[in-house]
Structure 1
């Protein structure tokens, strides 16, 4: 889930800070403390702001006739501020300084492009000729000669990182339409030059990068509304003077015929990027907006229209966006949660973004309409083409399927027989991966679901299950799939979706939980479900379908355990030696485990859990209590087996369920007894671990003595613990 939250104005902008090209700010940099930012305008002034208070903490200006040509940065080691005005004049000052004419000044021998400051290292100075120096080295000899590395090339972007203790600086240049990337490691004085692979009829507009495991990931926003990824390995040894960097497409900024002309972008996490630009559609006026995209699922998650216009600049610090909007600098907070992607996509309908859909909607297509799919060079989204008159359906059928787009093929199959329909979809799914492959799979599933809705007797459960099991799908790619599975009571498909979809909304998770708890054990015995998560701790006897377990005492008295009552909906069960039995059969236990493993947000799930019927809530709590006892058998943090619930998952769901139903449960006799048993068991566990803590030191001493002595002959040792 990715959402744009509330926004506020940080400050107004001067005449040079307006919208459009050449407007905006010179830069925005992090300040010396959290919640502080340094704002440098396109003139003489730099201002330190405390964001949460929306007030300036300090403001410094160079005198008339001078101009700041390099953004002000903070030296995190000395808590000083560093700036360059008139290309060569270096200034350094502290918070208490007011007049910049009286602070430290040094004139350098070459023009400065940018100063980069890292929290764990000193500032790095990048010159317009490509030379790099540390600030300390420059202060020792300000007039030292700076080499010219890039000759006629012009620097377009730069960034600095720390790889362990090694500072690394990367910058991109342009010359005659060709773009180059330089990577310099200062401590070893290593410089590598690369050339970006050319893209036909497009060029990079913006760059961003991050480093991990000695690999720089460079992301490039191109003018063809695409984002590409380039990998640069720092540890490779090569004799080539200029390597060609291959790039791969990770995102197409296009949705249902509307293309986003991005101007700048930032990386939020491994799966999300934010893009600022203009959303354009044929025949409509372009609208500037801020968008968040999921690169893994090729999905636009949320968008915010900016009617007053922007300067095309975007910064991101501490989960806050900073951008100009009209004549002010706006701060907008955001949240990214991998577990709630679909919830964010669903909220697009209520936002100010265009009404978009990545799938064919057969209810809105006439016989004279075609659907065209933007292929790998265009988009993953499908759109309706302008009306075209087809000569006849027979002529359409003569077209080879390989030449048809996905949308056209699905439209032609609308009235096909069931066998032909499924055969063609299977062939489509089995094709090799393409940049729009996930959207194609989403279209296939949507086509199947639409046919199910049109014909209630038709339900290709096996085909849907096969697609979900073998393909990297998400809830947002086929939002109606689980709803239809609920209607058909296909619990096996629901279980598989819960295990594989990372973005199921909390409302659907609750609907699955309620369905699993309400279905009878007799009905479940006739249904195939995946029992991998339960077979390791529930012994299934196929003769009487009973459930047997054995609880080993773990530091608590068996006298404190009392027999719990069986639920009316469960089969015959066998009590354990500790008096705790599994209240549900293995099939229902496996389904409930899938719910326990699903991702959720407490804020969104709790309101739905309050609607769970009391008897089902008690049954679910009884099962959670059983799982907790099982985890405590051998002091394990998780139950044995594949995809079994962990202690943290069990306790989180138990607390969430009690928060939702505590006032009801204390009024029910069977629930009151269960709560009492749960309280006694938890109290016994706390007492048991408290006793273990008392002998922790003695056990560590025994372990130390055991390592010191290694007797070569047989011996009997007596250790006395005092």
Structure 2
């Protein structure tokens, strides 16, 4: 059964209020499945790391210029390619800062789009239907470009795929209400032209999607009346056919989507695999006339497999890379992970036999926690997939596996309904006993939604009744790893209010979705705790032991790690003597931890929490200058320890990594740079941090030189005429 998991925001959208478009021209995969290039706002190209929701680079053309083609990444040359003002081909590398100073060439005809499939050479498709390999085009940019299309014929959609070791450029056109499909094979160049069947009453296709399967090119296209058709063209030698005559293209109706009132306007279909297709902008069958849904359909059995309601306006755009769907909606570009298991009739109708308990891996994500807990409209398909739709009571829905396990439970073990009811009124001791019995059940994995409900009830009761305490029960629920912040959004705040820092620590360890505002609230609370009070805390033993080991570890004087050694640091000749003396006089010890052991353990949990730079910076500005200086001093201490004791990163200690420490240093400097410059006690600290940065820059520079040398060595041809013994000397410059 296909599934859609909880998504996250990659970036915001910059929209023109006068145009009903998302502002995104295209999204292309970059060096790997975790990096994408987004072309938006007609002037800007941005590189994102998807898993971190982090922007790695951005390039913009000058005002008055327009990007008329979405950027692609050439994996062969490690370069980006885009087209501005229809005719100017631009090529640049990631280290280039100004796009206008990078390479550009003006061609003789308007470009429709540049395509590039991973590992292949970029291909340029011109607006009049001609196709050129990028290298061949740039060898003579002003070469004449032939016109393939008729005078009134216009390209509507295009893509580029590799089938049977051949590159194919596929595009559709429109001429006086007629729609055509072109298949252009490269090396040798051959062209086929097909005529699509007209859809009554003359409706134009809304979107296309193409894939290669079983030596056939499969074209999927969606019409405004909800019809999803498939046409199949065999991959074969095209001989000398020139595509002048349009061949009829047979089609098969795969899906008849519900359209509600009127026709679809902003909808799209995308092939996911041979049995599944994603559809956006079409109504959910069980949710009325709303068209703000993302759905996965099984095209073999015409069944809805998964669905998700998307907030805000839909634009009919959808991209897919490495089991992630990229969808602009409202004012955001969201990433929705999905999976499509092997299709079968049993799974399509929800009757697939359950595997044994020991063979079932734990799910990567629990879908729609808020829906389960707050009573939104939901629909359960099969055993596990949660969809928006008809009202259901998830807490009362059981799978065959859970029913079987329930029958085999001992009579003394509590049922979930009993525990939920007792939690609302019973004393804390009785609640704790019932929770322990519930967590001892063998079918704990099936109780994930119910455990979320239980935690929410406990938190609500604690906030309503200050005399009620459920510390132990909540701690046990957190250790199951079945909870997340979206299930219990008040749990961390409750722990902070009651100064229950052990619960705070567990939440920071186990919750993958803590908002940046809550993270900064924890940071401010931890750093404000007096050391005397902090030493009385009972925290997670392993983390305390790890911090004790890190503090007590003595530096090995003979080891130089990460390019930095305070004693052997090279002096910069540009520094004046007075600056050096001032730095030595103001330099803090650095070797002594500026905070107590317990407070350091709590700060470590914050430093290891996931965050987004854009969202956390405004909240960091709420820290006072004294708090910032203290945190920077602690980060300096961690940096020195990480530099001197690299084994601490690999021997199982729970402590921040060197990269996490440096990232937090950068965050604090970005948020409080002006305040720190004006704070006298921070001057020596800033000078020390400056030496850290210089050492890292030097290290990266040296690593870059080594990388270049190793690349040159790999390109050298091996001398095969080697006798039984030889000596070869290689000089690295």
Normalised TM-score (structure 2): 0.52
Q: Are 1:657 and 2:668 matched, yes or no?
A: yes
Which residue does the alignment assign to 1:444? Answer: 454
Measured after TM superposition, the shift of residue 485 of structure 1 is 1.0
Which residue does the alignment assign to 1:621? Answer: 632
Whether the 8 Å contact between 2:222 and 2:269 is mirrored in structure 1 is: no
Q: Are 1:187 and 2:228 matched, yes or no?
A: no
| CA deviation profile, 1:169-190 (whole Å, cap 9, x unmatched) | 442689xx99776374653699
Instruction: Select 2:286's aligned residue among 179, 200, 224.
Output: 224
Mapping of 1:23-38 within 5 angstroms? none
Which residue does the alignment assign to 1:673? Answer: 684
Q: 1:126 to 1:599 in 2, by over 3 A?
A: same
For these two proteins, the number of residue pairs brought into alignment is: 520
Measured after TM superposition, the shift of residue 514 of structure 1 is 1.9
Classify the secondary structure of the residue corresponding to 1:616. Answer: helix
Measured after TM superposition, the shift of residue 486 of structure 1 is 0.7
Q: Are 1:118 and 2:165 matched, yes or no?
A: no
Classify the secondary structure of the residue corresponding to 2:486. Answer: helix
Which residue does the alignment assign to 2:306? Answer: 249
1:373, 1:223 → 2: CA distance?
13
Q: 1:52 to 1:596 in 2, by over 3 A?
A: same
Measured after TM superposition, the shift of residue 654 of structure 1 is 0.7
Whether the 8 Å contact between 1:161 and 1:169 is mirrored in structure 2 is: yes
1:185, 1:590 → 2: CA distance?
62
Q: Are 1:159 and 2:208 matched, yes or no?
A: yes
Measured after TM superposition, the shift of residue 475 of structure 1 is 2.6
Measured after TM superposition, the shift of residue 410 of structure 1 is 6.2
Which residue does the alignment assign to 1:97? Answer: none
Q: Are 1:548 and 2:548 matched, yes or no?
A: no
Consecutive unaligned residues of structure 1, counting only runs of 5 or more, are 12-23, 38-48, 59-72, 83-101, 233-242, 255-259, 277-289, 298-341, 346-355, 361-370, 384-405, 541-545, 568-574
Measured after TM superposition, the shift of residue 483 of structure 1 is 0.5
Which residue does the alignment assign to 1:508? Answer: 518
2:262, 2:651 → 1: CA distance?
54
Higher alpha-carbon deviation: 525-534 or 704-713: 704-713
2:275, 2:653 → 1: CA distance?
33
Which residue does the alignment assign to 2:508? Answer: 498
Q: 1:696 to 1:229 in 2, by over 3 A?
A: closer
1:485, 1:292 → 2: CA distance?
33
2:263, 2:597 → 1: CA distance?
56
Q: 1:228 to 1:682 in 2, by over 3 A?
A: closer
Flag the structure with larger Rg. Answer: 1
Mapping of 1:316-465 within 5 angstroms? 376=380, 414-418=424-428, 438=449, 442-465=452-475
| CA deviation profile, 1:134-189 (whole Å, cap 9, x unmatched) | 2689x9999x886989999x99765224679x995442689xx9977637465369
Whether the 8 Å contact between 1:548 and 1:581 is mirrored in structure 2 is: no
Classify the secondary structure of the residue corresponding to 2:591. Answer: coil
2:724, 2:148 → 1: CA distance?
77
Q: 1:130 to 1:433 in 2, by over 3 A?
A: farther
Q: Are 1:105 and 2:128 matched, yes or no?
A: no
Higher alpha-carbon deviation: 445-454 or 589-598: 589-598
1:464, 1:457 → 2: CA distance?
16
Q: 1:591 to 1:468 in 2, by over 3 A?
A: same
Classify the secondary structure of the residue corresponding to 2:567. Answer: helix
Classify the secondary structure of the residue corresponding to 1:458. Answer: coil
| CA deviation profile, 1:247-289 (whole Å, cap 9, x unmatched) | 42243679xxxxx9x987544784775668xxxxxxxxxxxxx
1:103, 1:707 → 2: CA distance?
48
2:719, 2:710 → 1: CA distance?
14
1:211, 1:564 → 2: CA distance?
66
1:464, 1:505 → 2: CA distance?
20
1:423, 1:380 → 2: CA distance?
36
Instruction: Select 1:476's aligned residue among 470, 479, 486.
Output: 486
2:725, 2:543 → 1: CA distance?
45
Whether the 8 Å contact between 1:531 and 1:587 is mirrored in structure 2 is: no
Which residue does the alignment assign to 1:389? Answer: none
1:408, 1:291 → 2: CA distance?
42
1:266, 1:663 → 2: CA distance?
43
1:264, 1:229 → 2: CA distance?
17
2:535, 2:424 → 1: CA distance?
36
Higher strand proportion:
1
| CA deviation profile, 1:116-150 (whole Å, cap 9, x unmatched) | 3126763434999999652689x9999x8869899
The two structures, once aligned, show a CA RMSD in angstroms of: 6.6
Mapping of 1:22-171 within 5 angstroms? 74=112, 77-80=124-127, 105=150, 116-118=157-159, 122-125=169-172, 133-134=182-183, 158-161=207-210, 168-171=217-220
Classify the secondary structure of the residue corresponding to 1:456. Answer: coil
Which residue does the alignment assign to 1:238? Answer: none
Whether the 8 Å contact between 2:218 and 2:232 is mirrored in structure 1 is: yes
Measured after TM superposition, the shift of residue 452 of structure 1 is 0.2
| CA deviation profile, 1:175-215 (whole Å, cap 9, x unmatched) | xx99776374653699997966999x999979645467989
Measured after TM superposition, the shift of residue 720 of structure 1 is 8.5
Q: 1:666 to 1:715 in 2, by over 3 A?
A: same
Which residue does the alignment assign to 1:597? Answer: 608
Normalised TM-score (structure 1): 0.52
Q: 1:702 to 1:172 in 2, by over 3 A?
A: closer
2:315, 2:692 → 1: CA distance?
56
Measured after TM superposition, the shift of residue 450 of structure 1 is 1.2
Whether the 8 Å contact between 1:273 and 1:292 is mirrored in structure 2 is: yes
Q: Are 1:466 and 2:476 matched, yes or no?
A: yes
Whether the 8 Å contact between 2:13 and 2:333 is mirrored in structure 1 is: no
| CA deviation profile, 1:550-573 (whole Å, cap 9, x unmatched) | 244426665368999999xxxxxx
Mapping of 1:278-289 within 5 angstroms? none
Which residue does the alignment assign to 1:283? Answer: none
